[in-house]
Amino acid sequence: MTAGLTLPAPAKLNRMLHIVGRRHDGYHELQTLFQFLDHGDNLTLTARRDGEIHLSPALETVTHEDNLVVRAARLLQRASHASSGADIHLEKRLPLGGGLGGGSSNAATTLLGLNQLWQLGLSLERLAALGAQLGADVPVFIHGRAAWAEGIGERLTPVTLDTPWFVVVHPGMSVATPVVFNDPQLTRDSRPITMARALQGGAPEWRNDCESTVRLRYPQVAQALDWLSQYAPSMLTGTGACLFARLDSEQAAQALAAAANQHWHAFVARGLNVSPLHDALGC
C-alpha cells in the first residue's frame, strides 16, 4: 500500500473587511486583509489507479458530491484529464460556516496535494483560477501568502502583517454567508482605501463591515463579541460566526481562551504570513 500525503488546511482570518460595492451578478466587492492561522484541518491523500474519489469521514451536513474536497478533486481531474483517483481522509477541526474559510482551505489543499500526488505540474496561477470556481476564498489559500485582496477577494497582493496570538471564539452556531450578503441593511458603500492605508492598521480601518448585520441577526455573536471585547481588541472574521481577539503573548491568549471556554468553544492560534500548507510542500 502507498503511503498517504498528509497536508494541513489552515484557517484564515480577515484582519479587516470592507464592502465597497456590489457587482451586477450580486457578488460583493471587498477590500480585505487575509492572514493564516497555525490551526486548521488535515487531509491525507492517497492515489488510486481506478479514477475514483473516496472521501472519509463524511461531514454530517454536506453530501459527498457537494463536499468541496470532492468538488476540487473532480475539477482537477476534468481540467488536467487525469486518470488517477484518490482516497482522501479529512480530519475536520474547523467549524462549518465559521468565517474561518475551512471549506475553501480544504479545496485548496486538495488541489495542491493532488497536483503533487498525480504529478500534474499545474502552476499556482492555474490552480488558483480553478479554485476560484469553487469559492471566493480558495485563491488566497492556493497562493499561501497573507494578502491584501480586492475584487470579490481574488485580486491578491502579498503583504506582511504582524503575527500576534489570537483567541478565536466560536459562538456555537453557524452563519450562512449568503444570508449576510443578501441582507438589505448590509453596509455596501464603504469608501475604497489604499493598501498602504489599510496596512497602517488600527481603527477606523480595521473593522468588519458585516459586523452590524451579523450582530442584529445573530444575538449570540453580539453577546460573545461584547464579552471578548472587554479583554482585548476583538473582531468578526469573514461573515462570522467566529470572532477573534488579538493578544500580545501566548500566555495572555491561553488565559483568555480558558475563560472563553467556560461559555463557548475557543482556541489559541498564531497569525502566519505563509500558509503551513506551503511550508509543508516547500513552495
Report the catalytic residues: 12, 137
Examine residue 104 and tell whether it contacts ligand CDM (CB under 6 A): yes
Q: Flag whether 33 is marked binding.
A: no
What are the helix (H) ranges across 122-218?
Answer: 124-132, 138-143, 177-181, 195-200, 211-217
CB of 27 to ligand ATP, least distance (A): 13
Residues 126 and 139: their CA atoms lie apart, in Å, by 10
Residue with smaller CB distance to ligand ATP, 215 or 231 = 215
Q: Does 177 bind ligand CDM (CB under 6 A)?
A: yes
Q: Measure the CA–CA gap between 139 and 51, rounded to whole angstroms.
A: 25
Which one of ligand ATP, ligand CDM, none is in contact with 121 (Cβ closer than 5 to 8 A by kind)?
none
Could you count the other beta carbons within 10 Å of the beta carbon of residue 95? 19
Per partner kind, with CB cut-offs from 5 to 8 A, the member of ligand ATP, ligand CDM, none near residue 152 is: ligand CDM
> Residue 27 touches which of ligand ATP, ligand CDM, none (CB < 5 to 8 A by kind)?
ligand CDM
- Minimum distance from residue 157 beta carbon to ligand CDM (Å): 15
37 binds, among ligand CDM, ligand ATP, none (CB under 5 to 8 A by kind): none
Closest CA to 136 of 150, 157, 124: 150
Binding site for ligand ATP (CB under 6 A): 59, 62, 66-69, 96-104, 106, 137, 177, 238-239
Question: Given candidates 152, 199, 252, 281, which one binds ligand CDM under the rule CB under 6 A?
Answer: 152
Q: Is 282 annotated as a binding residue?
A: no
Q: Please, are residues 178 and 276 in contact by the beta-carbon 8 Å criterion?
A: no
- Give the nearer residue to ligand CDM in terms of CB position, either 26 or 202: 26
DSSP string covering 229-272: HTTS-EEE-TTSS-EEEEESSHHHHHHHHHHHTTTSEEEEEEEE
The answer to whether 109 and 43 have CB atoms below 8 angstroms apart is: yes
Does 95 appear as a known binding residue? yes
State how beta strands 85-91 and 28-48 pair. Answer: antiparallel
Residue closer to ligand CDM (CB basis): 43 or 210: 210
Counting Cα atoms < 13 Å in the Cβ hemisphere of 278 gives 15
96 binds, among ligand ATP, ligand CDM, none (CB under 5 to 8 A by kind): ligand ATP
Binding mask 235-254 for ligand CDM (x = CB under 6 A): ---xx---------------
Among 18, 94, 117, 137, binds ligand CDM (CB under 6 A): 137
Helices and strands (H, E) in the chain, number of each type: 10, 10
4 annotated as belonging to a binding site for a ligand: no
Cell numbers of 1, please? Answer: 500500500
Q: Which of 4, 5, 27, 252 binds ligand CDM (CB under 6 A)?
A: 27
Side chain identity at residue 274, one-letter code: V
Q: Per the annotation, does 103 bind a ligand? A: yes
Q: According to DSSP H, which parts of 13-145 are helical? A: 68-80, 102-117, 124-132, 138-143
Which residues are annotated as part of the binding site for ATP? 95-105
Q: Rule CB under 6 A: which residues touch ligand CDM?
A: 14, 26-28, 30, 32, 99, 104, 135-137, 152-153, 177-178, 181, 238-239
